[in-house]
Amino acid sequence: MSKRRRDERRSSEEEESPRKKRRDVDLKLVPVTFSESVGLFLNHDGEYADNKPETTGKFSIENISKKDRIWDIAIELDDTGSTDLDDTIEIREINPEDTEEIEYKVTQEPKNVLSVREFISALDEDTASYSLIMGRRNEIYVKLTIENESDEDLKNIEVHKFVPSEFEDVDITRKSEGSAEVDMIDGERAVKWVIDELPAGRDETLSLKFFITVEDIETKVRSGKIVTKYSAPYLMSGVKLNPEKWHSYTNNNMYLSADELDETPNRFECKFVFENTSEFVVKLLDIDVHDVDTPGKNFVKVDSDTKLSENAKWSSESWKFDVKEGTDPQFIKRVDFTTLAEVKTETLTTVDIEDFELAVAALEADLKYDATELASYRETVFNAIATVSNTGGADLNEVSYREIIQSNFKAPLAEDVVVKYNGTELDSSIYSVQISPDDEGSSREHEVLVELKELVDTSIESFKPGDSLDITYPITADRPAMDVEYQPDALVTGNTLPAGQPIEIILKPEGLVIPVIHVRKRFITGKDVEAMSQSGKYLVTLWIQNTGNFEMLNYELHDELKEGSTIISEVVQRLGEYQGVPEEIDLEEVVDQVAVADEEDVTEEISKKRRERIKGPQELVWTAEKIPPNERFIVKYVIKKDK
């Protein structure tokens, strides 16, 4: 190869190669972006909420040059994916610093690859609990954990944890990565956590502490929603663009030099030059230079991978061309080139995570028995009546009641336990009853356990504020000795959803102890009959004297009215303490108290049946509901005998 040819070749290579020092700075590519936006709505457990996911797409081409237009833009898509895009996109031109955008629809069901888990506790850093405590400044522990569950690195991650106004203070206690600060977002207070990049499979945590003072048992406060945003380097729709199928033009210059040789007239040395006068990097695809008479002969060859940066030139190898005397070389020139595009694909995902309610959880419970004392060495059945009420502001997902039945007493059968919910007997499928051990003996303790669990899955859904449970069952005193007493030992528990520290109420009221009384009856009964001043009339006195140490209950005084006699008046008296013997009966006083007139003067209180003359004897009964120790119960009545 001649020296001249080598110099020309070197010149051509130098012109077509951008300067190395400027390569990284000046290589301007046309930004072509497929950006998809996904809006997801999740509940606090990470499941999809009722709101429908929203996915939209935007295709954009940005002319980043300040002076050069790009035109005749044509794009062929390898795959339109689950979109309404055409296979080919054509745009006539884009002016400097302008952007062309095309929106499209995405039918692909979106997927969230950045999981967000929130731990909240009103108790401590280890036990989830949503129950506030009244009358104190509650510390609410919050821990956010994000995890990249995809195979790609995620970028530009923002987590916004909104803080409701009821919370007094917010502390950022720990963060494993990124930056975090309390800021105002869309007019609301929030903790803003920013991480530039989260590698595939990585998780990070942020720990916070909120403070709230509760003065009212009905106080309820939302935990604060979470909004996350992140960018993934792929498209949800699956659209694919091959950069090789991108084509656009921009400002350029081309020319052909023809130098007639000094020693050979009518012979020209020709060379073709292409100059990139734009700011963009262009790629030469094909060049065709031929004379007008021989269109099939191309004098220029170009490598299809030739790239030119801003103001770079490409020169062909020179060639000799002969013409007729008096004419000049005439060539047809055609150049096919394109700007180079930088294709970006990203999915911008926004995830709204619902918050939930924090409330004061409280229970009240009461236990009663329908007996105040039990008789020794006798089998006595009495009933336990337990009442449980939700007096707080939080729904409860679990409620349980347990009583320990002590030895010498028989526990009920499971079928004898009655549970009422707000006054109505509860469906037995909603609760369970366990008697342990499952026998009918009294030689050892037994446990009565009534449980309402996983109420969220039942027809009542929860034990709501204002709800009440009534639990009733029989207990049998199994001939207890005189030194025994029944002592209540019961426990009520409740819990929220999710389960946290349970509410516990211990029922061991001292005043509820039922003593076993060694009751043995001691009494004296008597009957006195005295003739009255009127002939045929007699005053009858019946009495019972309680000479024991215990009350006598529902004692019946019996007498017999003989045939031919009629009661014309009666007085039931109860006198004071017993003095040892019945006092003398003052007939005159009795006359004042008892009607002694003829039958027509008898008072209305006297039974008609007793006024009627009867044939045969008639049994008379008076009942003393209660006779305390050392007191007597007296009945006086006047009878009239037939002549």
Strand order in the sheet with 131-132: 131-132, 357-360, 220-222
Q: What does the DSSP assignment read for 100-154?
A: EEEEEEB-SPP---EEEEEEEESS-SSS-B-EE-TTEEEEEEEEEEEEE-SSS-E
SS3 per residue for 221-236: EECCCEEEEEEECCCC
Least reliable range by pLDDT among 252-261, 357-366, 510-519, 628-637: 510-519
pLDDT interval class at 572 (50, 70, 90): low
Residue 607 phi/psi, 5° resolution?
-65, 135
pLDDT interval class at 418 (50, 70, 90): very high
Stated pTM of the model: 0.60
pLDDT interval class at 177 (50, 70, 90): very high
**Is pLDDT of 573 > 60?**
no
Residue 388 CA to residue 378 CA, distance in Å, equals 32
What is the rounded (10 degree) CA torsion for 66, 72, 78, 80?
80
Count other Cβ atoms within 10 Å, centred on residue 476: 17
Contacts 24+ apart (CB under 8 A), 14-22: 15/273, 15/312, 15/313, 15/314, 15/315, 16/306, 16/308, 16/312, 16/313, 16/314, 16/315, 17/312, 18/307, 18/308, 18/309, 18/310, 18/312, 19/309, 22/309
Share of the chain above pLDDT 70, in %: 86
In three-state secondary structure terms, 289 is strand
Residue 50 CA to residue 559 CA, distance in Å, equals 81
* Fold (topology level) of 3-26+250-344: Immunoglobulin-like (2.60.40)
12-26 average pLDDT score: 40
Q: Is 60 left (phi over 0), alpha (psi -120 to 50) or beta?
A: beta
Helix (H) / strand (E) element for 610: namely helix 608-611
Count other Cβ atoms within 10 Å, centred on residue 621: 8
Least reliable range by pLDDT among 141-155, 219-233, 252-266, 577-591: 577-591
Estimate to the nearest angstrom the gap between the alpha carbon of 2 and the chain centroid: 85
Which pLDDT value is given to residue 458? Answer: 94
- Kindly tell me the burial class for residue 179, based on how many C-beta atoms sit within 10 Å of its own C-beta (0-12, 13-18, 19 or more): exposed
Residue 9 phi/psi, 5° resolution?
-65, -45
Share of the chain above pLDDT 90, in %: 50
408-419 average pLDDT score: 95
* Fold (topology level) of 114-233: Immunoglobulin-like (2.60.40)
Residue 238 CA to residue 103 CA, distance in Å, equals 15
> Among 2.60.40.740, 3.40.50.300, 3.40.50.2300, 3.20.20.30, what is the CATH number of 361-517?
2.60.40.740
What one-letter code names the amino acid at 517?
I
Domain 33-110+238-244 grouped into CATH 2.60.40: yes
Helix (H) / strand (E) element for 7: namely helix 3-16
Which pLDDT value is given to residue 121? Answer: 87
**Is pLDDT of 521 > 90?**
no
Q: Is the dihedral of CA 145, 150, 152, 155 positive or negative?
A: negative
> Among 2.40.50, 1.10.10, 2.60.40, 2.60.120, what is the CATH number of 523-641?
2.60.40
**Is pLDDT of 175 > 80?**
yes
Residue 471 CA to residue 399 CA, distance in Å, equals 12
Decide whether 3-26+250-344 matches 114-233 in CATH topology: yes
Q: Mind listing the pLDDT tens digit for each residue in 140-155?
A: 999 999 999 999 999 9
Terminal Cα-to-Cα distance of the chain (whole angstroms): 175
- What value does the mean pLDDT of the chain take? 84
62-74 average pLDDT score: 95
Task: Tell me the β-bridge partners of 546.
Answer: 523
How many residues comprise the chain?
A: 643
User: Measuring CA to CA, which residue among 200, 146, 155 is closest to residue 176?
Assistant: 146
Tokens of 246: 């991108």
**Is pLDDT of 589 > 90?**
no
Task: Tell me the helices (H) and strands (E) count for the chain, helix number first.
Answer: 4, 45
- Residue 280 and residue 65 in contact, taking contact as beta carbons nearer than 8 Å: yes
Q: Please enumerate in sequence order all residues whose Cβ is within 8 A of that of 584, keeping only pairs 6 or more positions apart, or say none.
A: none
* Strand 30-42, strand 341-353: pairing: parallel
Residue 93 CA to residue 70 CA, distance in Å, equals 6
Where are the domains positioned within the chain?
3-26+250-344, 33-110+238-244, 114-233, 361-517, 523-641
Strand order in the sheet with 282-291: 306-308, 282-291, 331-339
**Is pLDDT of 533 > 70?**
yes
Which pLDDT value is given to residue 424? Answer: 94
Least reliable range by pLDDT among 64-73, 108-117, 218-227, 602-611: 602-611
